[in-house]
Structure 1
Amino acid sequence: MENDKVVSVLNDLLTKNYDAEKGYKEAAEKIEHTALKSYFENQAQNRYDFGHEIKALISKYGGEPDKGTSIVGDLHRTWIAIRDAFATGDQAIYDECIRGEKAFSEEYGEVLNDTVIPQDVKDMVRKQKESVDKALMSLKSMEDFSS
């Protein structure tokens, strides 16, 4: 894969991490449930950390990291849905975060399925996907938070 394509894939993931980080920060500010608030704060930090890992690889492949969140895209719409869910309470925020994490995991899976992605990029993407999947399982385990 030529470097421009690697950089493009990485910048796409970077932008989606910016979106997720912002969404989780907003969710943490709005949610009442203490365990979910802590979860959201941790995930915002994870996405921040993911971003730095991605930026390092973008630089390695001769690219310039994108700055800021996306204006369009599925994950952006997901985080807007989370913002809209704030009006309807913790359960709606929780449900939208589950949906967002599933979409995020799928996005990482698509990158891993690309047979021409360099191994170091695959290794980083795999590690981040495993973290996302673990976080999703943790979030799902809190499903009964409203009981």
Structure 2
Amino acid sequence: MNNEKTVSVLNDLLNITNDRIEGFSKVEDKVWDTYSGLKSDYDQMVSQSQQMKSELISLINENGGEADNTTSTAGAIHRAWIDVKNSFTGNKEESTLENVVFGENAAIDAYQNALDSGDLSADCSRVVQDQLHHLKSSYAKFENLENIKS
């Protein structure tokens, strides 16, 4: 197993996790007036993201790498687009949560690609697979917004 490739894949996932954390910080409290049933799930996602970040940093260090504890360029562009879009949309709450769903779906794809790459050791794959499971669970809770308004 090539540690450089492993560290690179893990750093990509770390960037995506940091994108999630940064994106979550953009969700305004007023969203929960309409979607109060999702608040505890959302809080759990934020907490899980911090845990995932810690796990990825540990794996990177264990594999002799240095954690790239930044966000991705694509994530920064997406967050800027969300800001522009939200300034023009009529339903900011729903739009904001739709962006959470979009971000979760993108993270799921990235995690699956990391697992499919063959660049992760068995230990790293187990952690990444567990994190992917959490992402899919979060996505499932938020994907049908119309069904979960308060």
Matched, 1:125 2:128: yes
Amino acid at match of 2:17: N
Question: Residue 27 of structure 1 aligns with which residue?
Answer: 27
Question: Where does structure 2 lack aligned partners over 5 or more consecutive residues?
Answer: none
Higher relative contact order (CA 8 A, sep 6+): 2
State the match for 1:95 in structure 2: 98
Matches of 1:38 and 1:92 in 2, distance apart? 19
Alignment of 1:53-132 (within 5 A): 53-70=55-72, 72-73=73-74, 75-87=75-87, 88=89, 89-132=92-135
**Contact conserved, 1:28 with 1:38, CA < 8 A, in 2?**
no
CA deviations over 1:76-121 (Å, ceiling 9, x no partner): 4333344445443111112111111111100001011112421111
| Whole-angstrom CA distance in 2 between matches of 1:40 and 1:25 | 11
Deviates more, 1:55-64 or 1:112-121: 112-121
> What runs of 5+ residues in structure 1 fail to find an aligned partner?
none
Question: How far apart are 1:142 and its partner, in Å?
Answer: 4.3
Q: Matches of 1:104 and 1:117 in 2, distance apart?
A: 17
1:28, CA displacement in angstroms?
4.7
RMSD, aligned α-carbons:
2.1
Of 20-29 and 53-62, more deviation after overlay is shown by: 20-29
Normalised to the residue count of structure 1, the TM-score between the two structures is: 0.85
Q: What is the number of residues matched between the two proteins?
A: 145
Q: What percentage of residue pairs aligned between the two structures are identical?
A: 26
Q: Is the CA contact (8 Å cut-off) linking 1:7 and 1:61 kept in structure 2?
A: yes
Corresponding residue of 1:143: 146
Check conservation: 1:20, 1:79, Cα contact below 8 A.
no
